[in-house]
């Protein structure tokens, strides 16, 4: 009888090559100077031709409860005006005389501004995902984009994109300026024809909102990000898809919404997350017997990573979120704990090639997108396959990344509340298959992030639900296979993440997009 293939193994086959290829691209990215990079050469994607334009998206619920009346835009000239006719004439000239380089750049951005800026964010996270030198003073221009930082970065970016796009859709259908090519047939349109009103430009909205948020997070990339934003906007003129006034309005709107998102970020308590002087008292670490406390295994000694990240402001309802906190782990003296530690040791002693593969595939360590970025890549593949509009794509990223960040907040709260030692701290004979993270064991960050992401994505993409949930299972157990987590770390983390994912599902069910 032929042996069947496990569902978890099947779940990753479609992604193994893409993920490994992406890692190679990221490695290349990391060694280049930002200002010299040619991002359009990184990856070829199909030109976006949405199956529907989501005409009612202007009525969807925004994350920051943005009132469109508080957003000011330049006046949209009538299509019969001399000023607008001059803009159309410019598009005729640009689209008729488009160079090969301009065509390539236009095709790159035509894959979708939301998807492309998410890729850019992942590349920046990978570039800065290198631990600083021990003892070196913090450099705000070179942040350490560890998993909690990355989860927050993806959330801030996707919220800015989503809220700005929902607001832009409201203006689009209020002003109702038709796409340029439907007004002037001489425009040599490079992108698919659309019934979506053009003012303000959705690409300019996303470009400016993304540029501004990413510059806030990665200040040293200011010139590079401005170059990309300008290129994104210019590509719409080369395509014949937007006039300069469409782009100016989109830039204004994107900037205003990004400012609101950045203002929230400045007050979300992330600036206090790295405090090494207050977490001991806040979590009352002294209550834990010294022999039962986690210790850093890094040499030279490095302070624990972001011990107060658990106090950062969540995106979903905080009362409901913290109701999902996991229970206490088993006592170190209990038979349950001893059995769990023995299981880690047994796997480390007898690790199979398949367990090595799984541990490596989900490791997402230094120089990568991080675990939250891995799930952004998975979401991107599903979004592209579904041919969603820009606003619906942004909604998916926003729902997922807020859930992933909130799951990380609860995970980090549990880590420092219980201060549980890593398996190899208690049994130095355990040989790990991946790096030992510099923070306590309970619960698993990978499992928490994955439980949240998979639960939300399974709701958005129901035909892929089994595969997504299997991937979350595999991501969680990969940490056991790696020798750095107990099974209960993974199980409780995944359960907590799934509860946060359900909060995201409830938000999605009430946001008006269904």
What is the structure's pLDDT at 190?
97
- Other Cβ atoms closer than 10 A to 378: 24
CB 407 within 8 A of CB 497: yes
Can you give the pLDDT at residue 42? 57
pLDDT of residue 138: 85
In the prediction, which pLDDT does 287 show?
Answer: 96
Nearest to 20 by CA among 369, 386, 323: 369
Query: What is the DSSP code string of 110-151?
Result: TT-HHHHHHHHHHHHHHHH-SPPPTTPPP-TTS----HHHHH
Q: 3-state class of 258 per DSSP? A: helix
Contact between residue 94 and residue 235 where contact means Cβ atoms under 8 Å apart: no
Mean pLDDT by 10 residues, the chain (514 residues): 34 41 40 40 84 98 96 97 98 97 97 98 97 90 97 99 98 98 97 97 98 98 98 98 98 98 98 94 96 95 96 97 97 98 98 98 97 98 98 99 98 98 98 97 98 98 98 98 98 98 98 97
Residue 481, CA atoms < 13 Å, CB-side half-sphere: 21
The angle at the Cα of 264, spanning 262 to 266, to the nearest 5 degrees, equals 70
- Residue 2 is predicted with a pLDDT of 34
**Which tokens in the block code for residue 293?**
């406390």
For the chain, which domains are there? 38-266 (1.10.606.20), 275-509 (1.10.606.20)
469 burial (CB, 10 Å; 0-12 / 13-18 / 19+) is: buried
**Phi, psi for 178 (deg, rounded to 5):** -70, 160
**313 phi-psi bin (left φ>0, alpha ψ -120 to 50, beta other):** beta
pLDDT (0 to 100) of residue 96: 96
Has this prediction a pTM greater than 0.85?
A: yes
Helix (H, G, I), strand (E, B) or coil at 300: coil
pLDDT of residue 35: 41
């Amino acid at each position: 009888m032929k042996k069947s293939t496990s569902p978890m193994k099947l779940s990753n086959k479609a992604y193994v090559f893409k993920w490994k290829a992406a890692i190679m691209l990221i490695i290349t990215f990391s060694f280049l100077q930002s200002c010299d990079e040619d991002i359009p050469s990184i990856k070829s994607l199909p030109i976006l031709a949405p199956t529907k334009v989501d005409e009612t998206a202007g009525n969807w619920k925004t994350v920051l409860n943005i009132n469109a009346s508080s957003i000011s835009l330049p006046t949209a000239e009538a299509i019969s005006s001399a000023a607008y006719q001059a803009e159309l004439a410019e598009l005729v000239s640009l689209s008729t005389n488009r160079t090969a380089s301009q065509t390539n750049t236009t095709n790159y951005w035509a894959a979708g501004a939301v998807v492309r800026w998410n890729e850019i964010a992942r590349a920046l996270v990978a570039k800065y995902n290198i631990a600083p030198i021990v003892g070196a003073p913090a450099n705000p221009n070179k942040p350490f984009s560890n998993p909690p930082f990355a989860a927050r970065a993806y959330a801030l970016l996707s919220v800015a994109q989503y809220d700005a796009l929902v607001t832009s859709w409201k203006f689009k259908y209020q002003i109702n300026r038709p796409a340029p090519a439907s007004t002037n047939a001489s425009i040599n349109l490079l992108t698919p024809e659309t019934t979506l009103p053009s003012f303000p430009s959705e690409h300019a909205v996303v470009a400016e909102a993304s540029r501004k948020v990413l510059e806030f997070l990665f200040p040293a990339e200011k010139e590079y990000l401005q170059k990309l934003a300008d290129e994104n906007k210019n590509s719409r003129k080369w395509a014949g898809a937007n006039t300069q006034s469409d782009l100016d309005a989109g830039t204004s709107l994107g900037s205003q919404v990004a400012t609101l998102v950045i203002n929230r970020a400045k007050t979300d308590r992330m600036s206090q997350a790295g405090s090494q002087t207050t977490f001991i008292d806040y979590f009352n670490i002294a209550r834990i017997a010294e022999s039962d406390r986690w210790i850093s295994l890094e040499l030279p000694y490095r302070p624990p990573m972001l011990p107060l990240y658990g106090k950062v402001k969540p995106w979903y309802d905080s009362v409901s979120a913290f109701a999902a906190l996991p229970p206490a782990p088993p006592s170190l003296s209990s038979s349950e704990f001893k059995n769990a530690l023995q299981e880690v040791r047994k796997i480390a002693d007898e690790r199979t090639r398949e367990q090595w593969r799984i541990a490596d595939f989900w490791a997402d360590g230094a120089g990568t997108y991080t675990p939250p970025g891995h799930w952004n890549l998975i979401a991107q593949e599903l979004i592209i396959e579904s041919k969603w509009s820009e606003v619906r794509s942004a909604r998916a990223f926003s729902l997922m990344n807020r859930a992933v960040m909130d799951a990380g907040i609860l995970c980090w709260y549990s880590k420092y509340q219980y201060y549980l030692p890593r398996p190899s701290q208690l049994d130095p004979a355990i040989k790990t298959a991946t790096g030992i993270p510099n923070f306590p064991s309970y619960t698993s960050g990978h499992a928490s992030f994955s439980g949240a992401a998979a639960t939300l994505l399974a709701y958005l993409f129901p035909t892929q639900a089994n595969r997504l949930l299997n991937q979350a299972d595999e991501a969680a157990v990969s940490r056991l296979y790696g020798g750095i987590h107990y099974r209960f770390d993974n199980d409780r983390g995944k359960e907590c993440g799934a509860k946060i994912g359900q909060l995201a599902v409830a938000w999605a069910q009430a946001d008006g997009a269904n």
